Amino acid sequence: MKLGLHVTNFTWPDAPASIGPRLTEIAQIADRTGFESFSVMDHFFQIPIFGTTKETASEPMLESTSALAYLAGQTERVRLLAMVNGFTYRHPGLLIKAVTTLDVLSGGRAIFGIGAAWNEQEHLGLGVPYPPLKERFERLEETLQIAHQMWAGDASPYAGVHYQLAQPINSPNSIQRPRPPILIGGGGEKKTLRFVAQYGDACNLFDFGGIETVQQKLDVLRQHCADLGRPYGEIEKTVTTSLRLSEHGAEGTETIEQAVERFQLLADIGIEHVMFSLPSDWDPATFARYAEQLVPAVTAIQVAGDEALTRP
């Protein structure tokens, strides 16, 4: 099983001056200790689930494409992504260009995380159009089509209902071929998981509803794959979760052993890559201590099923 770190909070002591050095140190620890991926949220305002004060939206939040470009120069091997890009924040052609740039400058380490976007407050707050739900999914599908076309090197006009690109040139193209992996976030059974089966290379689910909910989503994805003639095993199955470790498993925390047991349950149903969020009160030294114990234990977990592919 692969392990990913998802940084969701920058409300750190002495911010904003401390954000750059601390983020660099955390990313380099993840890089050194063997994490598969390192991700940040694609939000402009902090969201309630990760906020630490009553003024959640006003807490520090970095713009994701700038942060990932910076991290590409601070790391050597870990894969980099936004978990996940909200397609509404950037025109699709510019978003694909940005991810391609990240892939080129990182030496082929970009993952394209993408989702339907949801935070109305930050859209309205910064003057970004916020289409209704049905239209957002229509635009998301067109964004996925544009991504496939641009990474295929096809500069012919794209004429969608919502987006028209006269000449979608993408030069230089990505180092990863045929494209950076497309990870689609969300567990919507009718549209999101169908998009995964049709356009994606990976899904991303939440485990907050328990193992049974994750299993249900995978079953739906499997059926969409069957309906579309897509091999289910081609898709990497990932989960985002929260993780708060302590030495003795105090209330609201887990020990390394308990976390590994929980991840084993996910591996038993085919989850290949677990990404966990970093609590705001973990300093780099604390993170390094746990990372050195956690990574070997998690990477030793065997993922069940012949359909779970080994990927580079």
The neighbour count for residue 93, using CB atoms within 10 Å, is 21
The total number of residues shown for the chain amounts to: 312
Dihedral sign for Cα atoms in the order 91, 234, 203, 160 = positive
Strand (E) or helix (H) holding 202 = strand 202-206
Spatial distance between the Cα atoms of 110 and 230, rounded to a whole number of angstroms: 24
- Please identify which residue in the block is written with the tokens 């999914």: 137
* Residue 197: predicted pLDDT: 98
Residue type, position 61, single letter: M
* Residue 281: predicted pLDDT: 76
Spatial distance between the Cα atoms of 175 and 197, rounded to a whole number of angstroms: 24
* Residue 304: predicted pLDDT: 85
* Residue 157: predicted pLDDT: 98
* Residue 54: predicted pLDDT: 80
Strand-pair category, 85-86 with 273-277: unpaired
Spatial distance between the Cα atoms of 32 and 173, rounded to a whole number of angstroms: 28
* Residue 311: predicted pLDDT: 41
- Please identify which residue in the block is written with the tokens 């978003």: 95
The stretches in the chain having pLDDT less than 50 are 308-312
* Residue 49: predicted pLDDT: 82
* Residue 252: predicted pLDDT: 85
Tell me the pLDDT tens digit for each residue of 77-124. Answer: 999 999 999 999 999 999 999 999 999 999 999 999 999 999 999 999
Contact 30, 78 (CB under 8 A): yes
Q: Delineate the domains of the chain, giving CATH numbers in brackets.
A: 2-299 (3.20.20.30)
Strand-pair category, 158-159 with 112-115: unpaired
pTM for the whole structure:
0.94
